[in-house]
Amino acid sequence: MPVMTYLDAIRQGIWEEMERDPSVFLLGEDIGDYGGAFKVTAGMLKKFGAERVIDTPISESAIVGAAVGAALMGMRPVAEMQFMDFISCGFDQIVNMAAKIHYRWGAKVPLVIRGPSGAGVHGGPFHSQSNEMWFVHTPGLKVVVPATAYDAKGLIKAAIRDDNPVLYFEHKFLYRRIKDEVPEGDYTVPIGQARVAREGTDIAVITYGAMVWTALEAAEQLAKEGVSLEVVDLRSLLPYDEQAVLATVRKCNKVILLHEGTRTGGMAGELAALLAEKAFEDLDGPIVRITAPDTPVPFSPPLEEFFLPNAKKVAEAARKLAAY
């Protein structure tokens, strides 16, 4: 199997879907000649033409609105947000239109909105947010956050084939840093199905996106100290794999909930509530959350490093929990 980067896996998945299905088309800012801000769409204009790779004005509301209309007419638009931070300019179209149309009259809205999110690249407060939870609270949407190149390709293909709106968050820190084996043939990864990234016995770490790699780094450190972490990668946040979450906690009996996004209203709180309701008797220690604090993402590299969860913070929390 060929080894490819996270970015190239996304690109290959989109490319294959455009070859497979003529109703798939792309729209977004600078995605044509320029190939996208991070080059995800490089070469696609030349291959598929200007009718299927459409450069748009700098208006996220227009991009999303046009995509919703095209989806209702039987097309399968893949709309790029140059940075997911800017998705707020199209918020009304997403949460009040795209998310509710199927509920209101049964129409299909096969729409993907994708783009780079997350911090770690010193992008400052307007280019570094992990804002997936804005949409996890909105019924009618699906929210996907891949951590590996294999999942990046499989989930973008599943998202494009889905008959209703999918928000696909690509962590920009992973684009060219993460490489793994990706099959050349056609495959999808089911939306809503978690995976065990590392088997363990003592403490379950439930996470997603770039923090999967942070958890794995901490697990490697702690294994040398005799503490075994099981790392679960959610892959999808809406829907999320409730059974996988419960299974790992019932196995390990202690749990750390880890995410890059800010603390209040984050996915960790949702998961903590689930565990309190359905796995309280299985817990042998307090539920631990490791998240970013409730502040904007700092621009300063030392402040950003302080802001973000890292393997050292996970290892410290795990040692305390192991000794509880």
Which residues are annotated as catalytic?
Answer: 127
For 84, 159, 199, 204, 276, the CA distances from 74, given in Å and listed in that order, are 25, 16, 43, 43, 43
- Count Cβ neighbours within 10 Å for each residue of 9-46 and write b for 16 or more, e otherwise: bbbbbbbbbbeeeebbbbbbbebbeebbbbebbbebbe
Residue partners of 2: CB distance under 8 A and separation at least 6: 181, 182, 184
Token pair of 27, please?
A: 């729209």
List the one residue out of 31, 56, 55, 57 whose CA is nearest residue 44. 31
Parallel/antiparallel/unpaired status of strands 142-144 and 236-238:
antiparallel
